[in-house]
Amino acid sequence: MSYRSSALLLALLLAIFGGCQGYGSLLGPRGTVQQQRYSATVHDPYADNDAGPEIVGGRPLGYQKPLAEPVRSRPFWEQWWGQ
């Protein structure tokens, strides 16, 4: 095998096995209920009313009022200080 084909094979293997790997397995559990709730709080997929105009009807029922900015940033603080 030449140097060029070896380098290409190595790059291909690195792209396949070291690529976009998530935080957990694709088929396994997603963590405890508390971990899932924390993840949903941190990664709120709905539009932020502070960043622009309010989108009426953009959130499902039960998620109509987004968390305030101090509450949204609190989990990061608690995570680092273990509170």
Give the count of domains, the chain. Answer: 1
**Is 3's pLDDT higher than 80?**
yes
Instruction: Assess if residue 58 is contained within a domain.
Output: no
- 3-state SS, 47-78, equals CCCCCCCCCCCCCCCCCCCCCCHHHHHHHHHH
The rounded distance, in Å, linking the Cα atoms of 72 and 26 is: 27
Instruction: Assess if residue 72 is contained within a domain.
Output: yes
**Is 9's pLDDT higher than 90?**
yes
Instruction: Assess if residue 83 is contained within a domain.
Output: yes
Q: What is the pLDDT of residues 12-59, one digit of tens each?
A: 888 887 766 555 556 666 778 777 777 776 666 676 767 777 777 777
Instruction: Assess if residue 59 is contained within a domain.
Output: no
Instruction: Assess if residue 80 is contained within a domain.
Output: yes
Instruction: Assess if residue 20 is contained within a domain.
Output: no
What pLDDT does residue 26 have? 60
**Is 65's pLDDT higher than 80?**
no
What pLDDT does residue 13 have? 86
Domain span including residue 78: 32-43+65-83
